[in-house]
């Protein structure tokens, strides 16, 4: 099917907020049109002449796209070089006089074209007239989406545990979260349907949410990845209730096969770039016949965060309003970042980039495996479906004190903790059964206001004292307003506490040592 | 006087808007504190490991800081090289593993320190505890200021002609401009005082403005520069009426001596970096005993726009709230931009940078001279104070048709146009006497709604047809609301039209040809 044969996006302009509606069209259009006239002398634009940029040329030495990423820096003979001259030296190259000048607010044209082809080939969107707009990373991009769609006081659909920086954009606007329950695949379609179907009775007088924020691959913090069937179901619900989906997908290519507890040290199977691309779960774009998905993709996790570069894929109307905002707010991402990343992608080629992403995924997969194996090694780890079948919400792998005889475990016996081995991204989410902790029971007996929060704060502190630093689960609790701060007030699951483990940075051996330290604290604090 | 002996900024927290007040403190502080513990294993942060950044090393070849900028690219033997390794090779260098990682949201520490010293030495702020916060260019920075201080519907003090992108930030928020009249030095203190003193009677029921937006050097579009006495006067009024001054100062070091009409081809006198720094008009910071100035400075005009890099200088309370917004909105400027500009500044040194700025100023000065000389050459150019003394508002240089005998000019005879030769920046602002244009008189006679606007649109179109492209003055008219769009409704000066000329990009010879083309159109359209 060619892109031309696909439908165009629907008119979704009723989703724009007042701010976005009120933006002026740029008055400079007339000037840009006149600038095309042959022979024109322009004294219209306030551009510095590139002869006055102090940069003459630049070169950047880079990895080949298909090397082994677990070893040392590749030798010079294997590397590739990105070269930049001040003025264009041949057709199609990017030069410093262009990338360091004021540029098009949509972003560097050849980079957008590169990304457009990649989007078509890899994501196969379901409508034809999608647009690509570069941005300064997904956090900045999500801010732009909130300013495009949300009015103060709006309620925003999100995962039951969500990314704190995403929340920090909407909270000061007086917006509140509508958390949707999670399972091992992320947001649950049945709960989403329930919330929306009962909205008028459960939230009388409040406008039904029309924006969803979701991290569908390697969810931060839970590490879950939403598979194709779930996506289709969520998309259909959103289409029915007219909801815009902001797909924040920085971990999109860090997707892993299931972790096999029976073979924790299994070798990672390397795939070709082509097979790798085919193996990826489809983006929401692939189901998006309406143009109601705003996809936020970023080079932060797969090239480098410091570039502050990513891109929107969305319908033309949203793209135009996002562009108007970008013109007056951020203008463009850094020209250095755009030029270097474009040159890298162009030098590698699409096949090379897919190969790079595949190799990179392998490294994260082995780190994921290392962390899961370390947990299995420091505890007695058993499949929850076999050993904690009677424990509500227990999913994935159940952890018991080391030395526990599996045969002694009753089906309704709470494990110390459970986790679903991450199928994407950089994070693992561990749920602790707090009823096994004497100190927690003491806090409950004392009648403290939020015993879950207080115990987890103490537990986190004890871990830090034992030199292992994790992220408290409380950071990821969506903000529902001042009256819903405690675990009880939020109606959240009781007697459970959470910690997030990042496996992106440390070597597996170091993580194993960290898990050992955690195990020591757990053995003291949990029955 | 040392900085320690200066007072601290006053508490100006009452200026914060609800959005800024409602921002959460970052929950990550506890984690950052714990990360300092020796021996700690952190699985807290979701950072990719720098071994997974595909960049090995980079080098950038740059101009020496003191070369002649009007000639060709300096030969390789004169250039300097900025080198970047993946990992730190020696203390004090910036490396790719740092600049390409997630970084401090305040910006790269050594760059902030460099800028802090420069700010102290060159601007000599009047209070001690100012802060430096990097940003992505002044337009983005001004957006952050509006989001820090302005509520929807606020009225903002600005120049009678102001930068369109600055307006485009506040207009969709429902904010409106309060334009302050200009003269050859920019904003007039007497008119500012008058507007504020009479606010309650002239704007009954409306909140008095508490934010001023001003481009004090090389004002865009007028090219004027505010001298020290005027600044002091404006600052004192702002202190009295409790107004925050956003000093948008991207052209700050492009300050020129007065243009001498009697010696239009005079050579530019080169200054040492030290003399150059002393010659600069003080920043508002220099008078800012309260901490009510938010200075926006940018590397766009003096290094390159594509870097998208600049910095705030402001009081600690504003800096903290701007930082909270930055954390969740833009995070940091590009690491490539920060690293390369830091390395450039460090390689040049402060003396070298001042020398660069001085040389750069010289180039812009000769372009300014070239444009003024071209205007003087294509018309009969005479000092307005001698030849248009009886014409209201005539200031600077008055232009008459070429061949006009100066002796024939009566004191109240309107020149075709007048301009104040720019004393800074990149722009020249030409005011035309429309009563000399038969077509304008015709439009007036026809009773069209806004004859000034309509004539200038036709004039601009005729110029474009004659292959010279300028920016219509109407772009710079501050937005005062839908009821104040026409020249008449705004109460603006009648029978005058404006065009902005940029002298930043084209060579003087090309500009001279452009002025010749303009003169041909003028000779047809003006008596």
Distance from CA of A241 to the nearest CA of B (A): 28
Report residue B2's pLDDT band, with 50, 70 and 90 as the boundaries: low
Helix H segments across A330-450?
A: 335-378, 384-387, 438-446
Domain identity same for A356 and A381: no
Residue A349 lies in a domain: yes
Distance from CA of A63 to the nearest CA of B (A): 5
pLDDT value at residue A393: 85
Q: Domain holding B474: CATH number?
A: 3.90.1150.10
pLDDT value at residue B31: 83
Residue A463 CB partners (closer than 8 Å, separation 6+):
A469, A470, A517, A518, A521
CA-only gyration radius of chain B, Å: 25
Residue B349 lies in a domain: yes
**In A, which residues are within 8 Å of B54 by CB distance?**
62-63, 65, 303-304, 344, 356
- Do B44 and A517 count as a contact with CB atoms less than 8 A apart? no
pLDDT tens, chain A, 527 aa long: 566 689 999 999 999 999 999 997 777 777 878 888 899 999 998 899 999 999 999 999 999 999 989 889 999 999 999 999 999 877 767 999 999 999 889 999 999 999 999 999 999 999 999 999 999 999 999 999 999 999 999 999 999 999 999 999 999 999 999 999 999 999 999 999 999 999 999 999 999 999 999 999 999 999 999 999 999 999 999 999 999 999 999 999 999 999 999 998 888 889 999 999 999 999 999 999 999 999 999 999 999 999 999 999 999 999 999 999 999 888 899 999 999 999 999 999 999 999 999 999 999 999 999 999 999 999 999 999 999 999 988 999 999 999 999 999 998 899 999 999 999 999 999 999 999 999 999 999 999 999 999 999 999 999 999 999 999 999 999 999 999 999 999 999 999 999 999 999 999 999 999 999 999 999 999 99
**In B, which residues are within 8 Å of A162 by CB distance?**
none
Residue B406 lies in a domain: yes
Domain identity same for A379 and A460: yes
Structure ipTM: 0.96
Report residue B457's pLDDT band, with 50, 70 and 90 as the boundaries: very high
Give the separation between CA A134 and CA A105, rounded to whole angstroms. 8
pLDDT value at residue A288: 98
Q: Residue A19 has what DSSP assignment?
A: H
**Closest Cα in chain A to B507:** A49
- Do A334 and B333 count as a contact with CB atoms less than 8 A apart? yes
- Do B335 and A308 count as a contact with CB atoms less than 8 A apart? yes
Domain identity same for A345 and A390: no
Domain identity same for B80 and B204: yes
Q: Is B51 exposed, middle or buried (0-12, 13-18, 19+ CB in 10 A)?
A: middle
CA-only gyration radius of chain A, Å: 25
The phi, psi pair for B462, rounded to 5°, reads -65, -35
Q: Residue A60 has what DSSP assignment?
A: E
Give the separation between CA A178 and CA A184, rounded to whole angstroms. 19
Distance from CA of B109 to the nearest CA of A (A): 14
- Beta carbons of B223 and B420 less than 8 angstroms apart: yes
**Closest Cα in chain B to A499:** B44
* Preceding peptide of B221 cis, ω within 30°: yes
Q: Which helix (H) or strand (E) holds A133?
A: strand A131-135
Distance in Å from the first CA to the final CA of chain A: 59
Give the separation between CA B168 and CA A25, rounded to whole angstroms. 10
- Beta carbons of A420 and A184 less than 8 angstroms apart: yes
Domain identity same for A266 and A406: no
- Do A61 and B74 count as a contact with CB atoms less than 8 A apart? no
Single residue among A363, A381, A413 that ends a domain in this structure: A363
Domain identity same for B152 and B266: yes
- DSSP track, B232-253: HHHHHHHHHTT-EEEEE-TTTT
Residues in chain B: 527
**In B, which residues are within 8 Å of A51 by CB distance?**
69, 73
Q: What are the pLDDT digits (tens) for A235-252?
A: 999 999 999 999 999 999
Domain identity same for B354 and B383: no
CA B457 to chain centre: 26
Report residue B400's pLDDT band, with 50, 70 and 90 as the boundaries: very high
pLDDT value at residue B330: 85
Residue A345 lies in a domain: yes
**In B, which residues are within 8 Å of A86 by CB distance?**
73
- Do B40 and A467 count as a contact with CB atoms less than 8 A apart? yes
Give the separation between CA B368 and CA B421, rounded to whole angstroms. 8
Single residue among B319, B335, B361 that ends a domain in this structure: B361
pLDDT value at residue A201: 97
Strand partners, B298: B310
Domain identity same for B153 and B177: yes
Domain identity same for B153 and B278: yes
Structural domains in chain A (count): 2
Single residue among A325, A340, A363 that ends a domain in this structure: A363
**In A, which residues are within 8 Å of B360 by CB distance?**
52
Domain identity same for B238 and B129: yes
Q: What are the pLDDT digits (tens) for B427-447?
A: 999 999 999 999 999 999 999
- Beta carbons of B98 and B55 less than 8 angstroms apart: no
Residue A33 lies in a domain: no
Domain identity same for A246 and A370: no
Which residue range forms the structural domain that includes residue B376?
A: 364-525
Q: Is A196 exposed, middle or buried (0-12, 13-18, 19+ CB in 10 A)?
A: buried
Angle ∠(A247,A249,A251) on CA atoms, nearest 5: 160
Residue A485 lies in a domain: yes
- Do A47 and B327 count as a contact with CB atoms less than 8 A apart? no
**In B, which residues are within 8 Å of A39 by CB distance?**
467
- Beta carbons of B384 and B391 less than 8 angstroms apart: yes
Residue B23 lies in a domain: no
Give the separation between CA B309 and CA B136, rounded to whole angstroms. 4
pLDDT value at residue A374: 97
Q: Domain holding B131: CATH number?
A: 3.40.640.10
- DSSP track, B434-487: GGG-HHHHHHHHHT-S-HHHHHHHHHHHHHHHTTEE-EEGGGGSPP--TT--SH
For residue B501, pLDDT over 70 is answered with: yes
Q: Which helix (H) or strand (E) holds B273?
A: helix B273-279
For residue B3, pLDDT over 70 is answered with: no
Q: Identify which of B31, B503, B513 has the shortest CB distance to residue A469.
A: B31
Residue range B340-356: average pLDDT?
Answer: 98
In what side-by-side order are the strands of the sheet with A471-472? A380-383, A397-400, A417-419, A427-433, A496-502, A471-472
- Do A308 and B332 count as a contact with CB atoms less than 8 A apart? yes
Q: Is B174 left (phi over 0), alpha (psi -120 to 50) or beta?
A: left
Q: Residue B205 has what DSSP assignment?
A: T
Query: Nearest 10 degrees: CA dihedral of A324, A325, A331, A337?
Result: -110
**In B, which residues are within 8 Å of A164 by CB distance?**
27
Residue A339 CB partners (closer than 8 Å, separation 6+):
A84, A94, A96, A98, A99, A108
Domain identity same for B106 and B218: yes
Among A30, A54, A55, smallest CA distance to A44 is for A30
pLDDT value at residue B33: 81
Residue A81 lies in a domain: no
- Beta carbons of A310 and A119 less than 8 angstroms apart: no
- Beta carbons of A522 and A416 less than 8 angstroms apart: yes
Q: Which helix (H) or strand (E) holds B213?
A: strand B211-214
């Amino acid at each position: 099917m060619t892109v031309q044969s696909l439908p165009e996006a629907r008119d979704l302009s009723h989703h724009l907020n007042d701010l976005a509606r009120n933006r002026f069209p740029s008055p400079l259009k007339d000037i840009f049109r006149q600038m095309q006239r042959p022979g024109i002398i322009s004294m219209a634009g306030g551009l510095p002449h590139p002869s006055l940029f102090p940069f003459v040329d630049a070169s950047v030495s880079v990895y080949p796209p298909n090397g082994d990423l677990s070893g040392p820096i590749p030798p010079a003979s294997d590397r590739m070089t990105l070269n930049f001259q001040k003025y264009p030296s041949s057709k199609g190259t990017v030069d410093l006089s262009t990338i360091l000048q004021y540029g098009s607010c949509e972003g560097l044209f050849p980079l957008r074209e590169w990304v457009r082809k990649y989007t078509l080939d890899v994501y196969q969107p379901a409508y034809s007239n999608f647009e690509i707009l570069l941005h300064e990373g997904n956090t900045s991009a999500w801010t732009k989406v909130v300013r495009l769609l949300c009015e103060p006081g709006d309620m925003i659909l999100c995962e039951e545990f969500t990314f704190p920086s995403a929340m920090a954009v909407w909270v000061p606007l007086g917006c509140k979260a509508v958390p949707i329950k999670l399972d091992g695949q992320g947001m649950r379609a049945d709960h989403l349907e329930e919330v929306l179907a009962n909205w008028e009775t459960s939230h009388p007088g409040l406008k039904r949410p029309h924006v969803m924020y979701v991290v569908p691959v390697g969810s931060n913090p839970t590490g879950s990845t939403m598979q194709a069937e779930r996506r289709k179901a969520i998309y259909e619900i959103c289409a029915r209730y007219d909801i815009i989906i902001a797909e924040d997908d920085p971990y999109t290519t860090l997707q892993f096969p299931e972790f096999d507890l029976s073979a924790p040290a299994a070798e990672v199977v390397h795939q070709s770039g082509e097979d790798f691309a085919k193996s990826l779960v489809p983006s929401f774009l692939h189901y998006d016949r309406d143009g109601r998905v705003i996809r936020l993709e970023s080079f932060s996790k797969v090239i480098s965060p410091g570039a502050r570069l990513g891109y929107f894929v969305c319908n033309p109307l949203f793209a135009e309003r996002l562009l108007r905002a970008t013109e007056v707010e951020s203008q463009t991402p850094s020209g250095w970042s755009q030029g270097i990343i474009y040159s890298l992608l162009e030098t590698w080629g699409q096949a090379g980039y897919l190969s790079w992403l595949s190799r990179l995924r392998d490294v994260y997969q082995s780190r994921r495996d290392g962390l899961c194996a370390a947990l299995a090694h420091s505890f007695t780890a058993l499949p929850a479906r076999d050993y904690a079948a009677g424990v509500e919400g227990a999913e994935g792998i159940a952890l018991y004190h080391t030395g526990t005889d599996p045969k002694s475990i009753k089906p309704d016996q709470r494990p110390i903790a459970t986790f679903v081995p991450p199928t994407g991204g950089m994070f693992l989410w561990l749920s602790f059964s707090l009823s096994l902790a004497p100190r927690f029971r003491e806090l409950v007996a004392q009648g403290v206001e939020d015993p879950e929060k207080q115990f987890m704060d103490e537990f986190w502190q004890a871990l830090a004292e034992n030199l292992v630093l994790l992220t408290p689960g409380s950071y990821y609790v969506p903000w529902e307003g001042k009256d819903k701060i405690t675990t009880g007030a939020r109606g959240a699951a009781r007697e459970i506490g959470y910690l997030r483990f990042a496996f992106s940075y440390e070597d597996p051996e170091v993580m194993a040592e960290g898990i050992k330290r955690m195990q020591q604290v757990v053995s003291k604090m949990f029955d």
